[in-house]
Structures are given as structure tokens and as C-alpha cells.
Amino acid sequence: MLNGRNPGGARGEYHAVTHMNERPINIVRVMIVEDDYETREQFARAITSDPRMRMVEKARTGREAIDLFQNARPDVLLVDLGLPDMHGTEVIRHAVRRRPGCDVMVITMFGDERNVLASIEAGATGYVLKDASDADLVTNILELRAGGAPMSPGIARMVLTRLYGRERLDPKETVGLGREAELTAREIEVLGALSRGYTYAEIGERLGISLGTVTSHIKNSYRKLTVHSGAAAVARAAELGLLQSSGDKPPPR
């Protein structure tokens, strides 16, 4: 079977298959925006080493990224914040406006609260520091495309700490959460683990459930909380007082 576009309109492209009964692989198209040459090439090598992904474009500046973005048609955009001509959040805003189906993950050295929150508000659904390994980068891209919100453990804990510092909503203000939309105990447990920096795979291992079941619980939480990302689901659940703080930490990576 030849390579081709997904006739059903799903995100990504189909990879070639060699047997008639072999299911095609949904290829993830990735674009990188990074001004440092060595870092950009390291990311590109990690992406091209995995047959589930395709490197479609690389940009050094924000302006170059904006010019190339539409024709590149990426499924995932990796963005550094410290670009030479503009802040990376400008690229993020352009990407989510022009291609809403594109998932954006920040990969940066900046782990401060201001940059993290600005990126999430601009539309990023993942935030990873540059100390992540190549294997972690691949895992994070695939998790992001599967509907997750990968964050470095320290970033996830910082976001959660900020959320717990906010005043809890009055129960009378929790509109949109009628009885039919209440989170189950398992959904709350999964969101709690996500908020503490665990990956989908680690959550499944901790709870003794499959990766698909973890994804299903999180997507159900999106629907019930009327949000569209893991970060937003955690934020909303924390506002509603559904998550309990914990000293539990994910294993070192």
C-alpha cells in the first residue's frame, strides 16, 4: 500500500504498510522552532529516529516559523521561548489561531512561573525543560498527540502549588458540574497523579490500568470539566477543590 493521506480526515498521515492485514501507522508531523543549531539538530535526530514521526520543518526565528508554519502543516509544534526576534508565545498564538488541531509543546530553559503560565495561556498544552532526554522527547510528543499534557515534574508541581495557593471556589459557583458531570473517584485519582508530574504510562502502572484506560479517564474529565487540555483539567479540578495536595513524587527520569 502506498503512503497517503488519511481519507477519514484524522490528524496526521498514514505510513506505508507492507501487508494487506497490517494496520497503517498514523504518522505525527513535527515542526521545531529553536534558534540554537546544535539543539535544533539534536531534537531533529530524536524525531527522525522514530518511525511514528516525521520532521516536516525547522525554523531558527519566530518570523521564519510563522512564514513556514502554514505550508508545513505540523501536527505538533515544538517551540523555544527565547527566540532572537520575538518571544515564543507569539509563535504559539499564531499556530493555535491558524491551525487549531496542532498541539504545541514548549521546550525551553525557562522554568519560571511567568513563562510557564504565559505559554499555557497562549495555547501550549505541554511544557518541558531542555534537560529531558531524547527518549523523553519522543514519549512527550506521542503523549501530547494522544491528548495528554506532558510537563517536566518540577513544572507540574509549580503549577499545582500556584493553584493550591488560590482561593477555592464556593460550591455555589461550580457551574457546569451537575450530577451527570461529576468526576468519578478514578478520574480524580488520575488527574491527581497527572498534576504531580506522572506520565500517562506511569499513572497506568501505579493504578494497575492500561494506557488506553488512563487516556479515556482524562478525556472524560475534559468533557465533564468543559476544558481541552490536561493542564486546564488539573487547574479546573483544583479550583473545585477536587484534588488533594500530596508529597508523592514521580520516579526520577
**Cell numbers linked to 142:** 506521542
The reported pLDDT for the residue numbered 248 is 59
Computed on alpha carbons and rounded to an integer, the radius of gyration of the chain in Å comes to 19
Q: Could you give the C-alpha distances from 76 to 11, 12, 18, 70, 124, in angstroms and in order?
A: 10, 10, 26, 13, 10
pTM score over 0.75? no
The reported pLDDT for the residue numbered 250 is 57
The reported pLDDT for the residue numbered 95 is 95
Domain ranges of the chain: 4-155, 168-239
**Cell numbers linked to 55:** 520532521
CATH of domain 168-239: 1.10.10.10
Say how far apart CA 250 and CA 224 lie, in whole Å: 26
User: Exposed e or buried b for every residue in 126-147, given b needs 16+ CB within 10 A?
Assistant: bbbbbebeeebbbbbbbbbbbb
pLDDT digits (tens, 9 = 90+) for 150-160: 888 778 777 76
The secondary structure of residue 38, as a DSSP letter, is H
Beta carbons within 8 Å of 232's beta carbon, 6+ residues apart: 222, 225
Q: In the chain, which stretches have pLDDT less than 50?
A: 1-12, 14-23, 167-180
- H/E segment holding residue 30: strand 26-33
Say how far apart CA 206 and CA 152 lie, in whole Å: 18
Q: Could you give the C-alpha distances from 100 to 21, 126, 141, 142, 161, in angstroms and in order?
A: 33, 15, 17, 18, 29
Q: Which CATH class is domain 4-155?
A: alpha beta
